[in-house]
Structure 1
Amino acid sequence: MNNSKITQIRSERRDAAENRQRILNAAIELFEQNGVEQVSMNQIATEAKVGPGTLYRRYRSKSELCLDLIKDNVDQLFNDIETYLEQNHFDPPSRRLKGILSLFIHFRERKAQLLMGVEESSSTNSLRARMQSPLFNELHQLLLELFEEMNVSEETHYNSVFRADILLWALSRDFYSFQRDARGHSPEMILEQLCSIFILRNSQNT
């Protein structure tokens, strides 16, 4: 590969990195001013001074853009969960489940606006699209494994996939925001109510 080709590739990479940073900076500023839901992709492109094509080549949806903005925070969340599970691997699965729920609810409270954006579908904003996001897929797997453990340790026969689905729905933006804003429940109260539903009473005392 000749030097001019190498220079061109480096220039393209530099331009792409600069465009990405302009897009992210513009998105953060607009989100802080107006909220995630009120900001369109076209507004972000205009604020970042890039063409819509440039924006959509990097981010197919506002959901993907928001995920990039909080990627480091999401990585830290799962690092915290992994550390928690390693440090408490001798605890019963019901207690570990409560610990994971506590970590996620705390994360949702701190990153509410961006997480709301991540959960938006690129086109229909459907529940299926939100529940199949990478964030919720990874959480689903963790919950599924704990529910399977609970079935073994408590000699129950609940459908673990169904339970994980329902619990994730309860943690999704629509349900969680309704409980916080309309019902006036605190994060601590939501956590306790979820545990009372998904964890058997005798398990909560072990």
Structure 2
Amino acid sequence: MKNGKITNTRTERRDAAENRQRILETASRLFEQNGVEQVSMNQIAAKAGIGPGTLYRRYRNKGELCLDLIKDNVVLYFEKIDKYLQDNQTAPASIRLKGVLHLFIRFRESKAQLLKGVEDAEPNYGKKSKSRSPLYDEMHQHLVNLFNEMDAEEHGQQDNIFKADVLLAALRSENYLFQRQVRGYSPEEIVEQLCNIFIARH
């Protein structure tokens, strides 16, 4: 009985891993062909040959699926940030903040659709919730730390949690794409404009 139990557990794990891989491959293909917004969870389940219940047990919404698709890229992105901050630890915090923004925008440009999918599924803040996605929360903490350093360097004091939230709001897909596609700003120009607002002291 014990051996039978172990075998069953391993089979379940193998099946779950195979389902996950099938889901991710199917979602990636559909997103590539149609765009993230146009693809439903039910379509993904049908094309992957699994039941909707199986899909929703693993991913509560499309945002979680998008986050899983880019999680390796997210890990690499934060490793780049950590390395950049380590390599430039003696530079003023304002310079490092600008460098972090450049890295974030390059990442956003390369994973635009999936990032929008993650953002679209973030909690509705009419409800009580203390976080958005893990990507948002980690980026927010980096920004707060850098803003705190800037205050220490300049003997100032601001609400840097709020300030980081506002900066990230400006970088959300809908706002960022509006600046890129409607206003016509390049990624570099967007960074410069944000630095003028969030770094320059008046």
TM-score (norm: length of structure 1) = 0.92
Matches of 1:124 and 1:132, distance apart in 2:
9
CA contact (8 A) 2:122 2:133 kept: no
CA contact (8 A) 2:123 2:132 kept: no
Specify the code of the residue in structure 2 equivalent to 1:186: S
Structure 2 segments unaligned to the other structure (5+ residues) = none
- What's 1:91 paired with? 91
Shift of 1:124: 5.5
Matches of 1:94 and 1:154, distance apart in 2:
11
Matches of 2:122 and 2:198, distance apart in 1:
31
Deviation digits for residues 147-167 of structure 1 (CA, Å, limit 9, x no counterpart): 111111012222211211110
- What's 2:138 paired with? 138
- Classify the secondary structure of the residue corresponding to 1:140: helix
Aligned pair in 2 of structure 1 residues 122, 168: CA closer, same or farther (>3 Å)?
closer
- What's 1:2 paired with? 2
- Classify the secondary structure of the residue corresponding to 1:157: coil
- What's 2:111 paired with? 111
- What's 2:14 paired with? 14
Matches of 1:75 and 1:111, distance apart in 2:
13
Structure 1 segments unaligned to the other structure (5+ residues) = none
Matches of 1:176 and 1:113, distance apart in 2:
12
- What's 1:42 paired with? 42
Shift of 1:199: 1.1
Counting aligned pairs with the same residue, the percent is: 61
TM-score (norm: length of structure 2) = 0.94
Shift of 1:2: 2.0
Matches of 1:195 and 1:160, distance apart in 2:
15
Shift of 1:121: 1.7
- Classify the secondary structure of the residue corresponding to 2:120: coil
- What's 1:66 paired with? 66
CA contact (8 A) 1:60 1:122 kept: no
